[in-house]
Structures are given as C-alpha cells and as structure tokens.
Amino acid sequence: MPTMDTLLIITLSALLLFAWALYYYLFIKRAPDFFFLGKSGLFIVMFFIAPIMATTLYYQAGAKDKLEKTGFTPHPSLQSSIGVAVGTGENPIWMFSTELDKVAIIDFYKQEQNHQGWTLSGEDEKWLIFKKNNKIMRINISNNTALFMIATQE
C-alpha cells in the first residue's frame, strides 16, 4: 500500500480544483483577469506548485520499497512517508509517521532478519547504528516519527 502523506494529497486535490475553477472562469466564461488569481495564478499552480507536489507524492509512494531494497524490512506500523525524505540520492533519508511505541520498533530492528546484510554496531538512547561495507544506517524513533539515514563512510 502506498505511504503518501494524506495532507499533501488533500492539498494537491484542492489546488487542482482551484486551477480548474480559474481555467473555467478565465478561459470559458471569458471573465476579466484579476491580479494574482488570474492567468499568472493559474500558471503558477499548474506549472510550478502542482508538479512539485505530484512529484513528492510519487516518490512518497515508493519510499518503503526503497527502504526495503537496502536490506531493512519496513516495520508494519510505519504509516505515511513525510515530506521529501523519501530515500533518494547517494545518502538517502526516509521519514515515516508511526503510532507505535519506540521500544517496539527498536526491538523489531534489532532482530537480524529485519536488517539483512547490515551489522548492528551501536546504539544509544537516540539512535540504532548499523554498518555494511562503507555505509552507515542510523535509525531514530521519536515524536511519532521514524527516521532512517544512510551515510557513506570514508
């Protein structure tokens, strides 16, 4: 199931509805242009804001799959991906909302079958730290948020 941020979906839907209303008002009814809500507003919404939000949602939909490809099993309680931390780039970062207790998620990731190919190299009150070759994965669970960060070690 995709893990997209519900608020972004609602906002994108509202923006597209607003853009459709502007299009109808300006091009079908031929009403006069009015300041920032006119043709320039339609242009900004349709060719700048909406594509950025749609791209973010697209990447959020595949965030759990990208995390799983690293060897970490996504915990079942990980809900929607948050913002643009969706696991792209050379040093990816993932951020998910979760309602489960921090201890339960940390215990889940301490089990070897949930971090295939990675070695637990340390932990403190904030982070679980795993290593694999020249990569380090840090996992932090706090404030109903699960944060996963991979960094390259030189």
Task: Tell me which residue range forms the domain holding 82.
Answer: 72-152
Residues 6+ positions from 108 with CB-CB distance below 8 Å: 75, 114
- This prediction's pTM: 0.76
Question: Of 17, 34, 61, which residue is a domain's last?
Answer: 61
Residue 74 confidence (pLDDT): 92
Find out whether 98 and 77 touch, Cβ atoms under 8 Å: yes
pLDDT band at 33 (very low <50, low <70, confident <90, very high): low
Question: Of 16, 35, 61, which residue is a domain's last?
Answer: 61
Same domain for 97 and 45: no
Residues 6+ positions from 21 with CB-CB distance below 8 Å: none
pLDDT band at 1 (very low <50, low <70, confident <90, very high): very low
How many structural domains are present in the chain? Answer: 2
pLDDT band at 9 (very low <50, low <70, confident <90, very high): confident
Q: For the purposes of burial, counting CB atoms within 10 Å of the CB of 25, is it exposed (0-12), middle (13-18) or buried (19 or more)?
A: middle
| Distance from C-alpha of 47 to C-alpha of 139, rounded to nearest angstrom | 36
